[in-house]
Amino acid sequence: MDWDKVIKPSSSYLVLGDTDTGKSALAYWLLEKYSKQLGLLPVVVGLPVNKAKLLPTDFVTKQSIEEGGRVEDAIILFDEAGLQLPLDNVDVRDHVVNFLSLPYHRNQVFLLVYHYPRLVLSRYLPLFQGFLLKRPPYLISFASKRQGDELTEMMREAEKRFGQMADSEIVKWTYVVAPKQRWQGSLENPLPSFWSPELRRVWGDVDFNNRFEEPVMSDAEWVALKQNQSTVQHGVDLICAVCGHRFPALYSGACGPCFAKWALDCKPKPKDRRFPIR
Ligand SMILES: [Zn+2]
């Protein structure tokens, strides 16, 4: 088995793993390799603007998931996609299903990188051509909302394999589940040629496990931030993709209330603070 049999045109892939296990490195390598091999434009969504210089000059960056999804004939990396495309929120499922069907129509490859989706609606799983797993977080059962679902099983199997590896090996391997090829196993992934410590730190700065010493953003500030990062449409009687009602403005296709609900669902939760930190 090799990567060429896994990565196919007009497909979406879910990339999962704990912080600092090499998810982004894997995704950038796939972007570099398969943009050339499949003749697709390499696109990165969600990279902070001042970091774009870390990418090769033929790479294109987009700020929102909607903008990224519009680029045809492209291999598109949605880094830390959970912030913009929550896979556990029933209210946005039509939006997610529509989004994940784009690659089929637009000759795209989607790589959606998630730190750890606590729950992925099982109806989404068939929309992915493959699941690319780096080492999952330590306590899978604590982190997962549901036991025994398909994704948790995949993560347990991945943990078994990564548990036997030296730390330095973990970034070099990916546990791949490719249902359409009826295959699962480990594949080696080199680093992309343009890899740099600075690129690694883009998301490394965002420590998903230790957020509780950071100032907590209010819900209103968070929604405003997410609105700023989304594509805004103004008009008359625009139809919200989530609730179907008409509104004068839409944020990434959703009305204000639906967008706010969605944004708050994916707002990082500060950990319980049992002892005040001084
Ligand atoms: Zn709505």
Q: What's the pLDDT at 139?
A: 67
Of the residues 165, 183, 204, which one is the last residue of a structural domain?
204
Residues 217 and 175 in one domain: no
Nearest to 69 by CA among 27, 28, 103: 103
CA of 56 to the centre of ligand 1 (A): 39
Residues 187 and 220 in one domain: no
241: alpha, beta or left? (left if phi > 0; alpha if psi -120 to 50): alpha
Rounded-to-integer distance, Cα 31 and Cα 37, Å? 10
User: For the residues of 67-108, what is the DSSP string, one character each?
Assistant: HHHT-SSEEEEETTGGGTS-SS-GGGHHHHHHHHTHHHHHTE
Q: What's the pLDDT at 212?
A: 36
Rounded-to-integer distance, Cα 65 and Cα 103, Å? 13
CA of 197 to the centre of ligand 1 (A): 41
CA of 260 to the centre of ligand 1 (A): 9
CA of 181 to the centre of ligand 1 (A): 38
Rounded-to-integer distance, Cα 38 and Cα 44, Å? 17
Residues 80 and 182 in one domain: yes
Residues 121 and 148 in one domain: yes
User: For the residues of 205-222, what is the DSSP string, one character each?
Assistant: TS-TT--TTSPPPPHHHH
CA of 114 to the centre of ligand 1 (A): 25
Q: What's the pLDDT at 270?
A: 59
CA of 117 to the centre of ligand 1 (A): 23
Residues 122 and 223 in one domain: no
Question: In the structure encoding, which two tokens stand for residue 39, read together?
Answer: 């003749």
Rounded-to-integer distance, Cα 9 and Cα 129, Å? 10
Q: pLDDT tens digits for the chain (278 residues)?
A: 899 999 999 999 999 988 788 898 999 999 999 999 999 999 999 888 888 899 999 999 998 888 999 999 999 999 878 767 888 777 788 888 889 999 999 999 999 998 766 667 778 888 999 999 999 877 665 555 555 678 888 888 999 999 888 888 888 999 999 999 999 999 999 999 999 888 877 655 444 444 333 445 677 878 888 888 888 898 888 999 999 999 999 998 999 999 999 888 887 765 543 333 33
Q: How many independent structural domains does the chain possess?
A: 2
CA of 264 to the centre of ligand 1 (A): 14
222-235 burial: b if 16+ Cβ within 10 Å, else e: bbeebbebbeeeee
CA of 182 to the centre of ligand 1 (A): 39
Domain limits for position 223: 211-278
Residues 216 and 160 in one domain: no
Residue 61, beta-bridge partner list: 44
Number of residues that make up the chain: 278
CA of 252 to the centre of ligand 1 (A): 11
Residues 187 and 217 in one domain: no
CA of 247 to the centre of ligand 1 (A): 8
CA of 238 to the centre of ligand 1 (A): 10
CA of 208 to the centre of ligand 1 (A): 29
Residues 9 and 113 in one domain: yes
